[in-house]
Structure 1
Amino acid sequence: MTKYGLRARVYTLTILPTLLIGILLATYFISNRNQQLEQFAVQQGIDVIEPLAIASEFGLARHSRERVKEVISINRRKQSSQIHSIAVFTLDNQLFVTGTYHNSLGLLQVPKGQALPTTTEVIEHDEYIIVRAPIWADSEDSFSRYTTGRPELLGYIALRMDKERALLMQFRDTTIAIFIVLLGVLLSILFAYQLVRRATRPIGKMVQVVDRIRQGRLDTRVTEKNLPGELDMLKNGINAMAKSLAEYHEEMHQSIDQATGDLRETLEQIEIQNIELDMAKREAQQAAKMKSEFLANMSHELRTPLNGVLGFARQLQKTPLNPEQRDFLQTIENSATNLLSIINDILDFSKLEAGQLNLERIAFHLLDTTEEVVTLLAQSGRDKQLELVLDVDPDVPEGIYGDPLRYQQVLTNLIGNALKFTEHGHVIVHISTQHQGLSSEKFQLHVSIHDSGIGIVQEQQEQLFQAFRQADASISRHYGGTGLGLVITRKLVQQMGGDITLDSTPGEGSTFSFTIECDIADIALGDPLPLEILAQQSVYLFEPMPATCQSLNHLAKRLKFNLISFDSLEDMLQALQTSRCSNSSVILGASIEQPSQLLIEQVAQVTQYTDNLLVGVVDHDSQSIRQLLHAGATHCLVKPLQYRKLAAQLIDHTPLKESQLPLLAANPIMSHYPIRVLAVDDNPANLKLLSTMLSARVTQVDSCNSGEQALQMVGEHHYDLILMDIQMPGMDGIRTSAVIRQTYRDFTTPIVAVTAHASAADRRRLLGEQMDDYLSKPIDEDDLLEVIHRCCPTLINKVPAMLSLTAPPSSESDNLIVVSDEPIYDWQLALMRAAKNQTLAEEMLSMLQDTLELTQIQVQQALDGELDESQLRAVIHKLHGGCAYTGAVAIQRLAALIETQLTEQQRAEQLEPELLELLDGIEQLKNYDRAPPWR
């Protein structure tokens, strides 16, 4: 590349200047020569015509054509090669005589209307030249000169001269000039070639030498002799470089040999260490496998008796007991619940360590989800005389995308820790946003939990996030716990894309904070709030606790109402008296240390100035609430105040009646509600269990197994409630509900969706498609009772109220966690799902086993490619629903997992391991002995 570039530069710098100079010189001399030839021709014509004009004077004056023609002919013969034609014209511009006749004689004549020439004039054309000269009567014997004394114009003579000779001479000169230029260029090329040849050949050989040196042939040298100065210096430099490289290469080989020997010894040692590490790794993997198997086995072995302890303890509480026995049972239930929580923590930690805990990404209502946790844990704070405060900034979005269950688990761990290690004071949960980005849909959610507890020294803070470790060894003895809660919390927060921090001072309290990346949900979540009505309200507030006052101020900005807070009750009473606005609402907060009698007196004072007094009480004590209502309170809200209840009570000024207060009784009074219910399900076992559970609660139950039958029965009877299965062959539940509402325009009966899909997204979708409520499988008696209360409140109020204590609803996470090594059938669970009816449990198992043969065939067809994903999903959904009312927990959860993956557009071949496992489980369940353990 360098050689080619040098040659091109030499040729360019040598030839191009010569060519340009030659062209410029040739152009200059050729143009100059052409001008000289044209001027010469014109001058020659003038030199010819002027003597002829003088010679023609005598003949023209005497009108002697022969004399003039003779003069013209003599001159034309002398200049015949140049003169084309000659003519003499009279004073009246008429031809007098011509040397020879030509067709172009008209060119010699002066055009009409133009004056005759009085001096010699020249007219040039491209191919010829016309010269005209006047003929004067200027001789001494002329008549005019004799009479007037001045010469007389007799006429004019004109000749035409061709340019052929001049053009030939121009062409000859141009050709000579071009030849000279080409000769100069040729000589330049020859000189440049000689220069390039003498310069590039040594350089090319030097390049070859350098290439050989690059290939490792360090003994190569440049041997050219008699090189010019710079090339000779380059040759010496290359030879010196090759010599230095050879010496360095020799030294390097010696160093490499030495290093290779050392490396060989090191590799031998590393190989021995690798063998030892491999053996240690296998032992560690085996130990980890044994640990996982141990945890799975212990999970099953511990959960089974614990579920029995919890279940029978709750059942025993429904029987007549004396206070001491009831206290013992409550202690047993609390202890079993705590033990179950510890087991769940250990399992979660094991899953996090193994990387098998996957997070969901669904839209959920952030405020409602947070309030659920705070409300659930508030009672623990009240038991320790602690006030739990939830403070949410107004700019925090209501709906976000994430995993609500794991978010609640993080909050539960952190708030539970704060309550556990705080003896007096408060726990404040503050939620805000940080670092709003360019995108309006992305933000950072910052949650901090501050307590006034014992605090932690700096050296012990890092131990909190280590497994089975606490800040002080005595803490576990005093407060209890395994030390896994914060470890699980930190790993969950990290999986959510955030991190957790701790700021603590011994004796002053601690603040746990975590920040996670969130996306704002683009769909409406929760019931809309009456913000327009609230914006017209003014609310007076007296709250003795500053943190609660600040949270209510933030809540007021979110709900758009005007909140006026006061530092003392006297200031608020004076403001109320001054305003005299009885329709303004008042919020009166109570502190934990405040005596109940003092609060009652404050209520009585404020009541005379407002018709809507909301009292924020610390504990949900029925007796205290009755006293406050008698004193004039409109409503009593348990702190921390829930924003939806607060918004409803600010609008509704109707006082709460004493009959609406919750009653407690040791022995529940069971009542049959006077309502008629229609149960629709295509699975016979599900339909039978649903009918049995409804029969224990309502006066009349009808059932059918298809959407078509449901349409017929709705047309024949009036129903107060319809429980509709969603996935049915033919007309599914959604389509059936839509047809019912289209057919009967005044149809007002609530329709409740019954399905095994329990996610929040499925719940929102079903509630938006002609459904009034939602009930997930397996159906719990308490959940069923709540649905009846929500959908038929008017009819239920006609009979004595249900006075039973219902257990809190189970967490959705219980339906999502799959536990390995489960029994193929759990009779205790089957009995619970059959409402303690042993005969019904046996019948449901028998009905399920009768359908397994067809299910097994259809699953095998899907594995063989004979069933598509939609058909397989229908089969799995039916199996899932059939298992939901029995004790086939393992198959139920495996079917739920497969159905979820099919819903997410997974292919059947991708689910081959799960389907094969499902076939094994079906085979075991087919051969399972139907005799329950109690026989």
Structure 2
Amino acid sequence: MNSLFTNLLSLQRIEYLIIDQELNILEKSLGVERLDTCEQAHKGQDIRLIFPELTGLEDIFQEILQGRRNNFKLKGMMRSAVNNSDAPVYIDICITNNIHNNYQSHELMILIEDVTNRMVLEQALTQATNEANLLLNKLSATNQYVNQIMESMVDVLMVTTLSGKIKKLNLSAQVLLEYSEAELIGQPICKFITGVDNLITKTGEIQKTSLTNIHQELNSPTISVPLIKEAESVCHTRTGKIIPVAFSCSMVQTEVEHFQGYVYIIRDITERKQAELAKREFIAMISHEIRTPITSVTGMASLLLNSELSIQQQDFVKTIYSSSNILLKIINDILDFSKIDSGKIEIETQPFNLIICLHEAINLLLPKAREKGLKLTLLELSDLPEMIVGDITRLRQVLVNLLNNAIKFTEVGDVEISVKVFKKQELKNAVEIQFAVRDTGIGIPSDRFERLFLAFSQVNASITRQYGGTGLGLAVCKQLCELMGGRIWVESQVNVGSKFYFTIVAPVFDEPGGNNADIANDTQINTRMAKQFPLRILLVEDHIINQRMIGLMLQGMGYQPDIVNNGLEALAALHRQLYDVVLMDIQMPQMDGLTATQHIYQEWTKETRPWIIALTASAMREVELEKQRYLSLGINDYLTKPIRIQELMTALKKCQPLVDSFKNQDMQTKEIEEQDTIKHPVDYAALDEILQMASFNPAINAREFILETIDYYLAETPKILQDIHTYLEQKKYANLRRCVHTLASTSATLGAGDLAILCRELEAILIQENFHDVANLIEKMQTEYHRVQIALQQEQKKYSYPL
């Protein structure tokens, strides 16, 4: 055997055997014996005894020897010579013609290669490939599973990067926002969902806010998911719709940056908002509708109690009176709660005497306390400010509610009220006032404290059965205290008594000239503003409540603003006449305020262009960011909603009338002053007196009482006047006199003094049976009523907002 060839085979770890035509071994390589199968191989031995795999291949051997075939390969199993067992080791057997000196011999060469390691690697590779394919199939199935879940969700699901750019979304997101997937991918989510960016800090972490944010750590040590739990906002669709939504947001943190970001679940809550609105409107409507007849029942029952009745009749009427009062209290609680819940109650800021307020609350409940034999006292007050600025009606309401509860749940002992004042540096000119109402009643278990201030909740069901009530009183008190800058809490011990505390924050009111005089003036309207700064004003506002509120402010200043609903109407109004000032809402249908401002800036010259004040509901920070843009569009100033009286007056003082606005200003001023000397058809002091008297009764909402009174007068007086004309034509003077007497009485009650005087004159003429001037006087009464009607309708607006 050629030594070079032998060395080459050895380097490749290939062994060989040379056999003759009879398949007997002639020669073997030195290393062949390391193979278990070939360990016992020796010259002259039949190769088939060593490799049984070769049995039956004799014809192939002959073909190779005859040159009709070059070689033949097969795989064999290596066998152990010790125990004659097969080892899991594989060999490659190659049979080829042995060639000597370029001629074909009659010998065969069997090349043997141990391919065990290669087979093991191939098997491992095959197994790894199969496992990888299986994993890939699982990942594909998982991805398909997740996608199907996402697509089947009714709620919107959006995934963003840490910087807030959308990178995955479901079909519901496309339907809600009215954009395709391609249009949304890569866009910042805050472009579509208002306020989302305010919840994320610059470092990509969710802010810790007390309102909406809860942090939750998962069990995995590598994943932390801070969670924002259902914050409410609005989304902006492609067609310009603004849809209320609730969304939750969680942060995804992984070791791979590509898979870090935020997951948003967004839900359209339009129906929920509509249902909430419908619920509030229904509660307000039904409470109002029920309260009106109940008030009449209570009033008539009180009148009956003052009439001559038998003992049995008095008992009947007392039952009617007390039952209607209880029902009225329940209705008032529901109405107050619905108003607070819908945000319709605003706290007034007017100076009032705190001591008088306390005594008024006590005097209202003193008869009830005496009836039960309880002592009701006000502890000695020290360092208590005489005058504070706030809402006396709401403060009295809280005091009366707590005192009423204390008396209700106390059978023996006393009820006392105390007040403390705390001066805090951070409050500047204001103080924190703490009220405490203590009783010796049934007490409250400590584990029930939290339920006390929840809506429609009481300590237990037996309380409702025994004492009645809706469970709304303390819930209303809690919200009123918070609206007044304070809080409410309780200390109690069963069968010992309870002590309810609440606080308010209020500025101290000094006499004019003191440091705090301006605080009260912040809410006062300068009624001569229009005389001092004569301006023609156009209010552009699409919201009816805002129209009424801002319109009333301007009317209180002496202005008579024109009001339009959107930018298109504003341009039309400006084409009809010049205005010195345009109060321009920014977001409106058909044409928004910025677009309208651009048109005004382009179409009107500097001499004829009005001073434009933007009205925006944006936060001050957002307004500051937009300030340069506003100025570039021609906006001169801006006010943020809700509009404050002082801010509005300050803004108007900056305005200058156009050149031709008030050519006859002196003449107009004189006319205004002359008009001021004309006696007003209604004496508002009478209305204020009615309002004040009504406010002393906690069962009556004073504002609504006076509104109902005015409504009744305006509805009934035209009927009375019509009856007067009819009775005059029919010459039924007795009936005529009765109608005139009624009209005189009701008119005087509402402060319509001139109309009442005319009625008295007519009544005197009818008594004297002098019928010649009756028709003339009736016409004067009719004319005077029209003046009264207009004045009362204006007064209605004053009391209509806020309710």
TM-score range normalised by the length of the shorter chain? 0.3 to 0.5
Q: TM-score, normalised by structure 1?
A: 0.33
Q: TM-score, normalised by structure 2?
A: 0.38
The structure carrying a bigger helix percent of its residues is 1
Between 1 and 2, higher relative CO (CA 8 Å, sep ≥ 6) is seen in 1
